[in-house]
Amino acid sequence: MLKAIRQRGYETIAAKYGVPADKILAYFHYHPTYYHLHVHFTHIEWGDINRSCVQLDEAIQNIELVPDYYQRATLVYSIGASMPLYSVIKLHTQ
């Protein structure tokens, strides 16, 4: 599925905007920044990946090398103090 998303995204961007795949940064957010998976395709000159994002190519490689990688991995993310999840986590870690 991820390979199909990557291929179709690159093809669509190339056809519509003339930007080749080697100029595109594809990545997605993971919990808790967003509660559903969605892939971003950004021009490399405008791309700004934060710690709660995973590059699509990296995720594909991780799954190919270790099929249950994301069931076993520890994913690091940042939560702002103004986010509702922050108070929940703070309450349960005190």
Using the structure block, give the residue that is written with the tokens 């103090």.
81
Strands 53-55 and 24-29: antiparallel
CA distance 77 to 75: 7
Which pair of structure tokens corresponds to residue 29?
Answer: 């957010």
Strands 53-55 and 39-43: unpaired
| SS3 call for 1 | coil
Domains of the chain (ranges, CATH numbers): 2-93 (3.30.428.10)
- For 76-85, how does the pLDDT look when each residue is reduced to its tens digit (9 = 90+)? 777 778 878 7
Q: Determine which one of 31, 38, 40, 92 is catalytic.
A: 38
In the 8-state DSSP scheme, what is residue 24?
Answer: E
Using the structure block, give the residue that is written with the tokens 């080749």.
20
Is the model's pLDDT at 37 over the cut of 60?
yes
Q: What percent of the chain has pLDDT over 90?
A: 48
- Please tell me whether the overall predicted TM-score, pTM, comes out greater than 0.85 for this model: no
**Residue 93 binned pLDDT confidence (cut-offs 50, 70, 90):** confident
Establish whether 31 is a catalytic residue.
no
